[in-house]
Chains A and B, each alone.
Chain A
Amino acid sequence: QKEVEQNSGPLSVPEGAIASLNCTYSDRVSQSFFWYRQYSGKSPELIMSIYSNGDKEDGRFTAQLNKASQYVSLLIRDSQPSDSATYLCAVTRAGSARQLTFGSGTQLTVLP
């Protein structure tokens, strides 16, 4: 079992719709959770971080964390074609010097 699992996609949504990206992790002591966006040929860019159960909103992005279910998600409201990218989920564990373990990413395409 991979430490961090994501559906590879591709996930396609129409412009203006809500895109929902999901991630599960295997290590119960995972502490911090991040979503990165990566455009083709570019490096990952941090878009959201979440540390406690519940929802965290930042503009059109909402991260949701459920530690009991070992599940973290990212919602993108009013999706735009510029949101088309690969979204990487990453987690850290206690005592790991904030070493990030990444999932393989979900490829999102927003159709005009």
Chain B
Amino acid sequence: DTGVSQDPRHKITKRGQNVTFRCDPISEHNRLYWYRQTLGQGPEFLTYFQNEAQLEKSRLLSNRFSAERPKGSFSTLEIQRTEQGDSAMYLCASTRQDYGYTFGSGTRLTVV
């Protein structure tokens, strides 16, 4: 069990640029989640995959956000035309069906 891995750890980008984050879940976990956390708040749900199928998306996930999980393994989260309000910690988590989440270390995005 190597844990949930996220890359990069930090990303600084200029407003209007596109960014992509990667998440490698624990290998036997079929469920993968993306959350966003801003300072002083709890994580907010963005989207959920069961295997390769994206089954739920939050209303927070505007059309500038897209997520994929090809072949039910790693996942990517892309933000197009970044805005300053996108600055946050982006957390990936994975789980088997009846267990609590394991979170990755997160990707901290700063949009300048």
Chain A contacts for B97, CB-based, 8 A: 98
Among the 9-residue stretches B36-44, B63-71, B72-80, the one with 4 or more Cβ atoms under 8 Å from chain A is B36-44
**Interface residues in B, total, Cβ within 8 A:** 23
Chain A, interface size: which category?
A: 20 to 34
Knowing A97-B31, A97-B48, A99-B48, the reply to whether A44 touches B56 (Cβ < 8 A) is no
Pick from B33, B42, B102: contact of A104, CB under 8 Å: B42
**CA of A49 to CA of B95 in the docked complex: distance in angstroms?**
14
In the complex, the chain A residue whose C-beta lies closest to that of B97 is A98
| Chain A contact residues, CB within 8 Å of chain B | 4, 8, 34, 42-46, 49, 88, 90, 96-105
- Beta-carbon contact of A44 and B43 below 8 Å: yes
**What's the Cα separation between A49 and B101 when bound, in Å?**
10
**Residue of A with least CB distance to B50:** A97
CA distance A103 to B37 in the complex (A): 11
